[in-house]
Amino acid sequence: MFAKKLRDCQTRNKSLICVGLDSDIEKIPSQFKVNGAKGVEEFNKYIISETYEYACAYKINIAFYEMLGYKGIKTLENTVEYLKTYSDIPVIIDAKRSDISNTAKAYAKFYFDYLKVDSITINPLMGVDSIEPYLEFPNSHIFALVLTSNPGANDFIIPNKLYLKILEKLRELEPKYKDQIGIVVGATQKEYFDEIVEKSEGMIYLIPGIGSQGGKIEDLKILVEKGKTMVINVSRGIIFSEDPKREIIKLREDLRGLTS
């Protein structure tokens, strides 16, 4: 199960950092870019080899692979297979899928039966019947968008308090799907953490938004104090840095400072 695999990896690597493989071919170094989709795969392997000792998970944003067509999908598959050679590190696919139940089941079959990843992100706004198909696969896990890190969260999610309504529905599902439901909460939304903590009970948090989006590590202290299990995603700040290993070590140490 994802929850146990994650916690074991966090303990072993003493890390809360999830490395986001948002491997945009336009931004990867030129020595990889010249090889197209294959170069993206080679870049991913380089990043993984530099960071796996200091990461608690990897998150692959599917958009940067779909944009490359069928070769990009093959790169996605090969990256997942490569990550499985590090069998004790969880793999999350960031797809933010949302659709009616039979379509959701087809998406879930790709991620959990074919790719055999540990978790995926989903958009819950189409309702419970669009969520459950993902949870019915053996050992599946989802991270449902609750409060995103982007400015657009102020358009619909925050004014209508949708994040609380989503949490209520997710909690209704929890007894049936124990340890299968996590939530996405942006690091830039610290003023809403108290409300979310009160409603989220034992759910694992996937936290984007640290670094380039403006989120700060110190803002997560309340989540540490409340004993929340966190997966803190950092993508561009690690993979496009001059020294990915040095960067993830620094971030890991900064985060460990929250718990001391």
Question: Tokens 């009970």 belong to which residue?
Answer: 201
Residue pair 217/16 in contact by the 8 Å Cβ criterion:
no
Residue 260 confidence (pLDDT)? 58
pTM, full prediction: 0.96
Residue 258 has pLDDT above 80, yes or no: no
- Calculate the CA 115 to chain-centre distance: 16
Could you give the residue numbers annotated as active site? Answer: 96
pLDDT digits (tens, 9 = 90+) for 80-137: 999 999 889 999 999 999 999 999 999 999 999 999 999 999 999 999 999 999 999 9
Residue 236 confidence (pLDDT)? 93
The whole-number average pLDDT for the span 154-177 is 96
Assign 218 a pLDDT band (cuts: 50, 70, 90): confident
The whole-number average pLDDT for the span 179-187 is 96
pLDDT > 90: percent of the chain: 87
Top CATH class, 2-259: alpha beta
pLDDT > 70: percent of the chain: 99
Assign 209 a pLDDT band (cuts: 50, 70, 90): confident
pLDDT digits (tens, 9 = 90+) for 226-255: 889 999 999 999 999 999 999 999 999 988
- Across all residues in the chain, what is the average pLDDT? 94
Residue pair 8/44 in contact by the 8 Å Cβ criterion:
no
